């Protein structure tokens, strides 16, 4: 392939990925607003950490091959829905659900698919709440709805998932059974820690600081 053809391919890929970057910016702004409003109104921050990424070309190619998706942009756009991804890490499980509710209740957000791996953990122990949401992005050519995968999880779930991810890749997906069993056990410990910390948090605030659904401003701290 000539350098010119390579440059054309690179430019096409960059143009394809551009709306996904804008989608991340839109969702990022929404999350920033929720966090700032919480801090301002309730002196409470339900969010520990937010990270976002557009899938790398390597990871995209791997997923296209794994899912048997046709390698053309229309098929990729239709079938790979986590090209734009945001991860919201919370202190407590209740905050993960609350933020999910607040984000998905917004009028311009379309909920395309939800996978609740917190209520129904994967067999390996993975826990996280996943939502594929459609967010409108206004380009010079008109509006487009961009899918963004938002993952909500606690610090303990995130700690487990990032270690499991590293182990998975270190062993090229062929993780020894004893390590898999230990990981599953560690996931249970993480879940116990989550439950314990949440209980302590409630006790500390004597039931004074629970996130509850309100009517007008949707979330109140009572």
* Residues forming the site for ligand 0O2 (CB under 6 A): 55, 59, 63, 81-82, 115, 122, 124, 126, 130, 161, 164-165
What span, in angstroms and rounded, lies between the C-alpha atoms of 214 and 145?
29
Nearest to 86 by CA among 40, 129, 148: 148
What span, in angstroms and rounded, lies between the C-alpha atoms of 28 and 38?
15
Helices (DSSP H) in 91-176: which residue ranges?
A: 93-104, 155-170
| Position of minimal CB gap to ligand 0O2 | 126
Instruction: List the catalytic residue out of 37, 48, 149, 203.
Output: 149
Q: Which is nearer to ligand 0O2, 15 or 67 (CB)?
A: 67
Q: Which is nearer to ligand 0O2, 82 or 194 (CB)?
A: 82
Q: Which is nearer to ligand 0O2, 29 or 51 (CB)?
A: 51
What span, in angstroms and rounded, lies between the C-alpha atoms of 218 and 105?
10
Least Å distance between CB 85 and ligand 0O2? 6
Query: Which pair of tokens denotes residue 99?
Result: 């933020």
Let me know if 149 is a catalytic residue.
yes
Q: 135 and 191 in contact (C-beta within 8 Å)?
A: no
Active site residues: 149
């Amino acid at each position: 392939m000539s350098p010119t053809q390579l440059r054309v391919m690179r430019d096409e890929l960059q143009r394809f990925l551009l709306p996904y970057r804008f989608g991340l910016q839109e969702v990022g702004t929404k999350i920033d607003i929720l966090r700032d409003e919480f801090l301002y109104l309730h002196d409470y921050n339900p969010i520990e950490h937010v990270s976002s990424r557009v899938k790398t070309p390597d990871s995209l190619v791997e997923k296209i091959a794994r899912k048997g998706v046709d390698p053309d942009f229309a098929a990729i756009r239709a079938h790979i829905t986590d090209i734009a991804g945001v991860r919201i890490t919370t202190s407590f499980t209740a905050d993960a659900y609350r933020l999910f509710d607040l984000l998905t209740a917004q009028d311009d957000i379309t909920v395309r698919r939800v996978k609740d791996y917190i209520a129904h953990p994967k067999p390996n122990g993975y826990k996280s709440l996943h939502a594929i949401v459609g967010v409108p992005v206004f380009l010079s050519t008109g509006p487009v709805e961009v899918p963004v995968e938002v993952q909500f999880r606690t610090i303990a779930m995130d700690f487990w998932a990032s270690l499991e991810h590293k182990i998975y890749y270190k062993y090229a997906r062929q993780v020894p059974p004893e390590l898999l069993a230990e990981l599953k056990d560690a996931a249970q410990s993480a879940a116990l820690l989550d439950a314990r910390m949440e209980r302590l948090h409630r006790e500390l605030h004597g039931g004074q600081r629970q996130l509850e659904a309100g009517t007008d401003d949707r979330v109140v701290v009572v």
